[in-house]
Chains A and B, each alone.
Chain A
Amino acid sequence: MAAIPLLELQDISLSFKGVKAINDISFTVGQGEICALIGPNGAGKSSLLNVINGVYQPDQGVIGFNGKSYRKMQSHQAAVHGIARTFQNIALFKGMSVLDNVLTGRNLKVKSSWIEQAFNIGRAPSDESTQRQKAEEIIDFLRINQWRNSIVGTLPYGLQKRVELARALAAEPRLLLLDEPMAGMNSEEKAEMSSFILDTQREFGTTVVLIEHDIGVVMDLSDHVVVLDYGKKVGDGTPDEVRKNPDVIAAYLGTKH
Chain B
Amino acid sequence: MIYRESGQFVTTYGADRRIFKLWQQRWALYTLLGFAFAVVPFIGNDYWFSAILIPFLVLSLAGLGLNLLTGYAGQISLGSAAFMAVGAFAAYNFQLRIEGMPLLLSFVLGGFTAAMVGVVFGLPSLRIKGFYLLVSTLAAQFFVTWVLTQFGWFSNYNSSGVITAPPLVIAGYDFSSPAGRYLLTLGVVTVLAFLTRNIVRSELGRHWMAVRDMDTAAAVIGIPILKTKLLAFAISSFLLGIAGALWAFTYLGTVEPHGFDLSRSFQILFIIIIGGMGSILGNFLGAAFIVLLPILLSNLSANFLAGVVDPGQLENLQKIIFGALIIFFLIKEPSGLARLWQLLRERARIWPQRF
In the complex, A167→B203 CA distance in Å?
Answer: 15
Q: Is the CB of A118 within 8 A of B195?
A: yes
Q: Is the CB of B221 within 8 A of A107?
A: yes
Contact digits for B207-242, partner A, Cβ 8 Å, 1 yes 0 no = 101101110111111111100000100000000000
In the complex, A68→B157 CA distance in Å?
Answer: 62
* In the assembled complex, A55 has its CB within 8 A of some CB on chain B: yes
Q: Is the CB of A79 within 8 A of B222?
A: yes
* In the assembled complex, B206 has its CB within 8 A of some CB on chain A: yes
Hey, which chain A residues are within 8 Å of B204, CB to CB? 114, 117-118
In the complex, A192→B209 CA distance in Å?
Answer: 30
Q: Which of A55, A110, A128, A131 contacts B216 (CB 8 A)?
A: A55
In the complex, A54→B214 CA distance in Å?
Answer: 16
Stretch of A29-37, A88-96, A199-207 at the chain-chain interface: A88-96
In the complex, A11→B212 CA distance in Å?
Answer: 36
In the complex, A53→B200 CA distance in Å?
Answer: 29
Name the residue on B nearest A75 (C-beta).
B219
Q: Is the CB of B14 within 8 A of A78?
A: no
In the complex, A76→B215 CA distance in Å?
Answer: 12
Q: Is the CB of A96 within 8 A of B220?
A: no
Q: Is the CB of B209 within 8 A of A96?
A: yes
Hey, which chain B residues are within 8 Å of A108, CB to CB? 221-222
User: How many residue-residue contacts, CB under 8 A, span A and B?
Assistant: 105
* In the assembled complex, B158 has its CB within 8 A of some CB on chain A: no
Hey, which chain B residues are within 8 Å of A117, CB to CB? 198-199, 202-204
Q: Is the CB of A91 within 8 A of B198?
A: no
Min Cβ gap A177→B in Å is 9
Q: Which of A78, A87, A119, A124 contacts B195 (CB 8 A)?
A: A119
* In the assembled complex, B278 has its CB within 8 A of some CB on chain A: yes
* In the assembled complex, B26 has its CB within 8 A of some CB on chain A: no
Min Cβ gap B209→A in Å is 5
Min Cβ gap B14→A in Å is 7
Q: Is the CB of A95 within 8 A of B221?
A: no
Chain A contact patch, size range: 35 or more
* In the assembled complex, A85 has its CB within 8 A of some CB on chain B: yes
* In the assembled complex, A1 has its CB within 8 A of some CB on chain B: no
Name the residue on B nearest A132 (C-beta).
B13
* In the assembled complex, A80 has its CB within 8 A of some CB on chain B: yes
Hey, which chain A residues are within 8 Å of B17, CB to CB? 128, 132
Hey, which chain A residues are within 8 Å of B206, CB to CB? 96, 100, 103-104, 107
Name the residue on B nearest A100 (C-beta).
B206
Q: Is the CB of A85 within 8 A of B220?
A: yes
Hey, which chain A residues are within 8 Å of B221, CB to CB? 79, 84, 104-105, 107-108, 167-168, 171
Min Cβ gap A126→B in Å is 10
In the complex, A95→B14 CA distance in Å?
Answer: 23
Hey, which chain B residues are within 8 Å of A118, CB to CB? 195, 198-199, 202, 204
List CB contacts (< 8 Å) of A96-112 with chain B: 96, 100, 103-105, 107-108, 110, 112
Task: Say whether, besides A107-B223, A128-B13, A129-B13, A94 and B217 are in contact (CB < 8 Å).
Answer: no
Q: Is the CB of A53 within 8 A of B220?
A: yes
In the complex, A121→B195 CA distance in Å?
Answer: 12
Q: Which of B199, B220, B231 contacts A78 (CB 8 A)?
A: B220
Question: Chain B residues in contact with chain A, CB under 8 A?
Answer: 12-14, 17, 195, 198-199, 202-204, 206-207, 209-210, 212-214, 216-225, 231, 278
List 24 interface pairs A-B (beta carbons < 8 Å), by A numbering: A55-B219, A75-B216, A75-B219, A78-B220, A79-B219, A79-B222, A87-B217, A91-B214, A92-B213, A93-B210, A93-B217, A93-B218, A95-B209, A95-B212, A100-B209, A108-B221, A110-B203, A114-B202, A117-B198, A119-B198, A128-B17, A128-B202, A132-B13, A171-B221
With A96-B209, A132-B13 given, name 7 new contacts (CB 8 A). Answer: A79-B221, A118-B198, A128-B13, A128-B14, A128-B202, A132-B17, A168-B221
